[in-house]
A and B are shown apart, each in its own frame.
Chain A
Amino acid sequence: MDTIFALASAPGKAGVAVIRLSGPEAHDAVATLCGRVPNARRASLLRLRDGDGTVLDDGLVLTFDDGASFTGERAAELQVHGSMATVRAVLARLGDLPGLRQADPGEFTRRAMENGRLDLAQVEALADLIEAETETQRRQAQRMLDGALGARVELWRADLVRAAALLEAVIDFADEEVPEDVSVEVVALIDKVAAGLDAELAGFGAAERVRTGFEVAIVGAPNVGKSTLLNALAGRQAALTSEIAGTTRDVIEVRLDLGGLAVTVLDTAGLRETDDQVEAMGVSLARERAIGADLRIFLGDDAEGVPARDGDLSYRTKADLTGDPAAISAVTGQGIDRVIDELRRALEDRAAGAGLVTRERHRLALVGGRSALSEASAVVAHGPDLYDVAAEELRVAIRRLESVVGRVDVEAILDDVFSNFCLGK
């Protein structure tokens, strides 16, 4: 078996970069580079040398024995300085050693699973955990790991199995005392599951938002204080503000962790008719992004061309100038807590509607099941003469749903799962 290696920390400049090795030659490679193999699980500061004896770097070196590492194999970690050149040089040196090669995407995780260190569910959830930026994302991944979707699928499956059993009874016990027509009951069961699938699929959007982050646009007339609000939300000077209307022309994005939710706040150009060509382009872009956002915060009353939708927020601004107690002021901070609070609650409401379906693979399975159910329903309505075909459609539906958590072509799942992993993780 090959010994694999890869950069395990994020690429780019950093204080420290971690290079991971796994496989039978891992310790020999350390000996070649560092002159000796430190005791397992004891961090040692060693000098790494190139093939001609020149120094590559000084780094912390860790080794792990067979059966006592993340992958379950003999392994090592080289913690070197996070310079792109250093990392490149160390990787090149490792690549020159016999029996060593760069890891394929997800290969470390794959080996961990093959050695019984992780199961498939953990692997999928692990991918999400690695990606998680906020508390809600972490919780969503954890919920997946706990099998919440599996439990839901099991309920659907139970109903469909009952529906199939009714059809099968009519087919397999035709000579005995069973009803000849069970279409009404079967259609009722199918409809119930179909409704559940529809609801879950509708929640896919929100669940996906939890994973990828919500987009919130600040919208309003020029100089109403949009950029000032953005800066107040961000707690820093993210956008240039001035008293001159039309200061913001491009769309400025700030990524926030709002009470555990990942949110991208968009500050857009003030909406107004303008002869300035550049500003006009900014206004048009602002409208487009504002309409496409998950939620809009309207400042003032004038938001030409951007319709408000359910759940959008709206405030009057510049309380410091108008003395309006209900308005907010980004300058004095009046009402900003209220904005944050209401925005968080609005987004939390949406996140709460998040379905359990967070992955495209799962969504496709549900969509496939749903369409088989439509077919089954149509065929069952023809009555007992076509029950053989209806039963087949139900079987397909059950199989599709099972593929979310249950039995399917194992190879296919593996390939799908592992292709979603980044190198070295």
Chain B
Amino acid sequence: MKHAHYDVIVVGGGHAGSEAAHAAARMGARTALVTMSRDGIGVMSCNPAIGGLGKGHLVREIDAMDGVMGRVADRAGIQFRLLNRRKGPAVQGPRAQADRALYKAAMLEETDARQNLDVIEGEVVDFLFAGQRAFGVALADGGEVRAHTVVLTTGTFLRGVIHIGDSREVGGRMGDKASVRLAERIDGLNLPLGRLKTGTPPRLNGRTIDWSVLESQPGDPEPELFSFLSEKAEARQIACGITHTNATTHEIIRENLSRSAMYGGHIDGVGPRYCPSIEDKVVRFADKDSHQVFLEPEGLTTDTVYPNGISTSLPADVQAAYIHSIRGLETAEIVQPGYAIEYDYVDPRALDLRLAVSSCENLFFAGQINGTTGYEEAAAQGLVAGLNAAAVALDRDPVIFSRTDSYIGVMIDDLTTRGVAEPYRMFTSRAEFRLSLRADNADQRLTPKAIETGCIGEERRIVFEDKIAKIGSVRESLGALSLTPKEVRAAGIEVAQDGSRRSGLDLLAFQDVRFSDVVLLEPGLSGTEPEIARQVKNDAIYANYIARQMRDVEALRREEGTGIPSDFDFDQLQGLSNELKGKLRAARPENLAQAGRVDGMTPAALTLILSRLRQDSRKRSA
């Protein structure tokens, strides 16, 4: 079958693929999303939740770039919670339970409605290459799709093996076939590969759970949504249940450890430390006789429940036995047993900051194939790869994210300079400029970049510019205030009577001063929308810290600005250990800042690199 010629082909319709295809299409590139089945677009294969700490930041940033994940999650959300609500806004993370069916439907609807975006159903079996340049894909039915650039987002398909106890099956997700020819082609590219694993819990039939004896966890009374464009949750809101494992559960698991794929020696891959299987928890935290289990309904129209916290690779009969030992689950029916999946990933140090494969042309990788875990991490990479694949096809400037502007930048930098040792998940602690990279200001940080890049719709631009104008005018009024301690105290705000005058912004910087307190001093602000007031307050809380960080930010930007040519020969540097040379060759840092984060880097080695760069540039200019 003959297909039209495209600017960008995205292979895979998961979270990375969907976001990549939408990003490319928003840029104006004619885009083809090639997937085994339309039915696979927007599927949540693991737990039915979006967001969380760090991850919620990523969703907000994707949304600020006018991406789709945030809007779709808002439409599908059935329980919204803002994590760390009591702590500072910098570490608050929006999270939502999503209805799987609603999510899929909303994503498909967005995809069908998107201009410039075609969905092609077919199994990709090979790339089309001219030398080192990719120019399309070959399909199993013998057809070909050609394009300027190709984005591969095929998750765990590379030598994916599913383990349930000692039985194993080759495949990506449950029910999908792993694509062998494409895997062989990727082998042929000689990219460095590693092996990882991840696990899922058994799915339960909610009708067979005794909810009456369980603790209930409701959502927030006022849902905190993901998208800056969303106004309210659309779906009916529900509560989750909470139960706990007990000594009997742990006893059953301990007795059957040898039958676990992970402990029986069937799996070599490295699993995430932060998301241990129940076997791991029982072994590593032997002194604890109980672990928390969240019972998360997978949707409004399904009975399936996802028991979060007990992923496993034990045989099905053992899973049933330990499930039935848990309070409220005594007669629970397992709809689908839990399993562990082992798969190859491409060492992301083989990619550049655009997620393009360094050793090829016009080929981009995004998502779990790069060693990450999580829908949000995948989608954020999809965004970066999609934007840049389109930029190449349309001959525009690359779209680069920095550690100083976004969690996306932090993640891309971490992946491409440090690689991964376990499935990479976002945490707020990974962002050294966490106080300024907040979920609440993602639009202020990135939407201007989106406007400049040209990947943004008219509606969002207008909403954003309106909001910025309002914030600006409130800040101006507050900044213009000049109040004596006496005047401040008269309004009921306690400050040191030190004689120094303070602006409204100075006052808001105090933890316990609310926006409404300051309105007493400037009645003209009484009509301020709550959203705007909250934003101004959040900015003020951290203003002093952010000012202090600016020096570090500038130093980092300067180092980011010191580029290292792709043909820079680390071997010729005398005084670098062979080990460090090897790591630098693998990471191929693109700038001095990246070189500084290569594992094992010393200041002496970094100065050596800087010196050589300067010397080379002097030689060139001489």
Contacts and interface: CB of A to CB of B under 8 A. Distances in A.
Interface of A: 1, 113-121, 164, 168, 171-177, 384-389, 391-392, 395-396, 399, 405-414
Given A175-B52, A387-B87, A389-B545, A168 B427 contact: yes
B121 to A, nearest CB: 38
A284 B607 CA distance: 52
A237 B548 CA distance: 59
B189 interface: no
B380 to A, nearest CB: 17
Nearest to B545: A392
Contact of A171 (B84, B575, B619): B84
Interface stretch (B20-28, B329-337, B609-617): B609-617
Interface in B432-450: 432, 434-435
B435 A174 contact: no
18 contacts: A1-B619, A116-B575, A117-B575, A164-B429, A168-B428, A171-B53, A171-B429, A175-B83, A176-B292, A384-B87, A385-B87, A386-B511, A387-B91, A389-B88, A399-B552, A405-B603, A406-B603, A413-B603
B407 to A, nearest CB: 13
B88 A114 contact: no
Contacts of A176: 292
A177 B619 CA distance: 58
- Name the residue among B91, B545, B574, B596 with the largest chain A CB count within 10 angstroms: B91
B83 A174 contact: yes
B86 A413 contact: no
B609 to A, nearest CB: 9
Contacts of A412: 555
A171 B604 contact: no
Nearest to A118: B575
B91 A120 contact: no
Contacts of B84: 171, 174
Contacts of B622: 1
B110 interface: no
A113 B601 CA distance: 17
A403 B84 CA distance: 32
A175 B612 CA distance: 48
A411 B592 CA distance: 11
A275 B326 CA distance: 100
A405 B548 CA distance: 22
B254 interface: no
Contacts of A391: 429, 434
A3 B570 CA distance: 26
A385 B88 contact: yes
Contacts of B52: 175
Contacts of B87: 171, 174, 384-388
Nearest to B84: A174
Given A171-B91, A392-B434, A407 B429 contact: no
B608 A385 contact: no
A173 B83 CA distance: 9
B232 interface: no
For the complex of A and B, 5 pairs with smallest distance between CB atoms: A116-B574, A114-B611, A119-B604, A388-B88, A168-B429
Given A1-B619, A116-B573, A174-B53, A392 B435 contact: yes
B603 A113 contact: no
Given A116-B575, A385-B87, A387-B87, A172 B429 contact: yes
B211 to A, nearest CB: 21
Contacts of A407: 596, 601, 603, 606
Contacts of A389: 88, 435, 545
A388 B83 CA distance: 14
Contact of B607 (A117, A120, A177, A386): A120
B612 A410 contact: no
A214 to B, nearest CB: 32
Contacts of B615: 114-115
B570 to A, nearest CB: 12
B607 A413 contact: yes
Nearest to B294: A175
Interface of B: 52-54, 83-84, 86-88, 90-91, 95, 274, 291-292, 427-429, 432, 434-435, 511, 545, 548, 552, 555, 558-559, 573-575, 592, 596, 601-608, 610-612, 614-615, 618-619, 622
A388 B53 CA distance: 13
A115 B619 CA distance: 13
A176 B52 CA distance: 11
A408 B603 contact: yes
Contact of A113 (B432, B435, B608): B608
Contacts of A410: 559, 592, 596, 603, 606-607, 610
A392 to B, nearest CB: 6
B53 A114 contact: no
Contacts of B558: 409, 411
Nearest to B86: A385
Contact of A395 (B86, B432, B618): B432
A234 B428 CA distance: 65
A177 B435 CA distance: 25
Contacts of A413: 603, 607
A119 B53 CA distance: 41
Nearest to B601: A407
Contacts of A116: 573-575, 608, 612
Quick one: which of A172, A174, A396 has the most chain B CB within 10 A?
A: A172
Nearest to A119: B604
Most buried by A among B88, B95, B615: B88
A114 B614 contact: yes
A298 B132 CA distance: 85
A414 B429 CA distance: 30
A120 B596 CA distance: 15
Given A120-B603, A173-B274, A388-B91, 20 more contacts: A1-B622, A120-B607, A171-B87, A171-B428, A172-B91, A174-B87, A387-B87, A387-B88, A388-B434, A389-B88, A392-B434, A396-B548, A408-B555, A409-B555, A410-B596, A410-B603, A410-B606, A410-B607, A411-B610, A414-B610
Contact of B575 (A119, A387, A414): A119
A168 B592 CA distance: 28
B434 A172 contact: no
Contacts of B552: 399
B57 to A, nearest CB: 11
Nearest to B438: A388
Contacts of A119: 575, 604-605, 607-608
A230 B475 CA distance: 72
Contacts of A177: 291-292
Contacts of A118: 575
A383 to B, nearest CB: 10
Given A172-B427, A389-B545, A121 B90 contact: no
A388 B603 contact: no
A310 B551 CA distance: 45
Contacts of A164: 429
B148 to A, nearest CB: 39
Contact of B618 (A1, A406, A408, A414): A1
A168 B618 CA distance: 44
Nearest to B281: A177
A172 B90 CA distance: 11
A118 B604 CA distance: 9
Contacts of B432: 395
A115 B615 CA distance: 9
Contacts of B545: 389, 392
Contacts of B428: 168, 171-172
Contacts of B574: 115-117
A406 B596 CA distance: 10
Contacts of B291: 177
A213 B610 CA distance: 36
Contact of B90 (A388, A399, A405): A388
A117 B607 CA distance: 12
B95 to A, nearest CB: 8
Contacts of B606: 407, 410
Contacts of A172: 53-54, 91, 427-429
